[in-house]
C-alpha cells in the first residue's frame, strides 16, 4: 500500500494540472449576429469540469482506505465542481454599437450593463491585493453613478477590447489608471 500512495498522489496532481490547462485555454466562444457579438464559454469547458467532478466523488469513496484526506477532498470536490460547472453556462457578455451587457459569477450573480449614449467616460483601473491584481473597466454614466466590472475571467478579457473600440468610435474618453 505504501508504494501505491505516492503514485496515486502523482496521478492526482497530474490530473488536476491537466484539468486546469484544459479549462483555462481556449474556452471562450465568440458568436456574431449582425453588429452584436456575444462571448460565452464553449460547451466542452463546463462539461469537462462536471464529468471530472462526477468521477471525483466515487473515486474519493473508493480511495478512503488509502488516504482519508484525499478521499474526503475528492468527495467534497464532486458537488462543488458540479455546481461550478453548471454555473459556467450562465456567464456571457454581449457587445454591440449601442452598448454592452453581461452576467458573471456564481449562477449569474453579478450583472452589468452600459449604454454608450449614457456613458461619459471609461477608465481601466488595476486594484492590487496581497496575492493578485485585477483590472476593472470603470464607467461613469450621465446621472453621475460610477459602475465597474472586473476583467478577471476570459469572457470579460475577450469582450473588453471590443467595448473600448465601440466606446472610442462614440467619442467616449478612455483613460488608463493602471
- Indicate the Cα dihedral angle 13, 18, 21, 24, nearest 10°: -90
74 burial (CB, 10 Å; 0-12 / 13-18 / 19+) is: buried
93 burial (CB, 10 Å; 0-12 / 13-18 / 19+) is: buried
Look at residue 1 and tell me whether its pLDDT is greater than 50: no
**Looking at the DSSP assignment, which residues form a beta bridge with residue 38?**
31, 94
Helix residue spans in the chain (DSSP H): 4-24, 44-62, 68-88, 154-169
Judge contact between 84 and 48, C-beta under 8 A.
Answer: no
Q: Which among 168, 167, 177, 115 has a CA at the least distance from the CA of 145?
A: 115
Q: pLDDT, tens digit, for every residue of 124-163?
A: 888 888 888 888 888 998 888 888 888 878 888 899 899 9
Q: Which among 114, 129, 110 has a CA at the least distance from the CA of 160?
A: 114
Q: Alpha carbon 86 to chain centroid distance? A: 13
Q: pLDDT, tens digit, for every residue of 80-127?
A: 888 888 888 888 999 999 999 988 877 767 888 889 999 999 998 888
Q: pLDDT, tens digit, for every residue of 54-65?
A: 988 888 888 778
Separation CA 27–CA 40 (nearest Å): 8
- Indicate the Cα dihedral angle 147, 153, 156, 161, nearest 10°: 110
Q: Which residue has the higher pLDDT, 91 or 26?
A: 91
Separation CA 138–CA 133 (nearest Å): 15
**Looking at the DSSP assignment, which residues form a beta bridge with residue 148?**
138
| Amino acid 166: pLDDT | 92
| Amino acid 2: pLDDT | 47
- Domains, the chain, ranges and CATH? 4-30+40-88 (no CATH), 92-177 (2.30.29.30)
Retrieve residue 80's grid coordinates: 462543488
| Amino acid 8: pLDDT | 56
Amino acid at each position: 500500500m505504501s508504494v501505491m500512495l505516492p503514485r496515486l498522489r502523482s496521478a492526482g496532481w497530474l490530473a488536476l494540472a491537466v484539468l486546469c490547462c484544459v479549462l483555462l485555454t481556449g474556452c471562450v466562444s465568440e458568436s456574431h449576429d449582425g453588429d452584436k457579438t456575444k462571448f460565452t464559454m464553449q460547451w466542452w469547458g463546463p462539461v469537462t469540469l462536471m464529468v471530472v467532478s462526477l468521477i471525483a466523488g466515487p473515486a474519493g469513496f473508493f480511495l478512503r482506505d488509502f488516504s482519508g484526506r484525499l478521499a474526503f477532498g475528492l468527495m467534497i470536490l464532486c458537488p462543488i465542481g458540479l455546481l461550478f460547472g453548471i454555473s459556467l453556462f450562465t456567464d456571457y457578455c454581449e457587445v454591440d454599437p449601442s452598448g454592452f451587457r453581461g452576467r458573471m459569477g456564481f449562477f449569474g450573480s453579478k450583472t452589468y450593463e452600459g449604454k454608450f449614449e449614457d456613458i461619459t467616460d471609461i477608465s481601466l483601473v488595476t486594484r492590487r491585493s496581497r496575492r493578485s491584481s485585477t483590472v476593472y473597466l470603470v464607467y461613469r454614466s450621465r446621472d453621475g453613478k460610477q459602475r465597474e466590472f472586473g476583467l478577471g475571467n476570459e469572457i470579460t478579457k475577450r469582450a473588453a477590447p471590443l467595448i473600448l473600440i465601440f466606446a472610442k468610435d462614440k467619442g467616449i474618453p478612455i483613460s488608463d489608471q493602471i
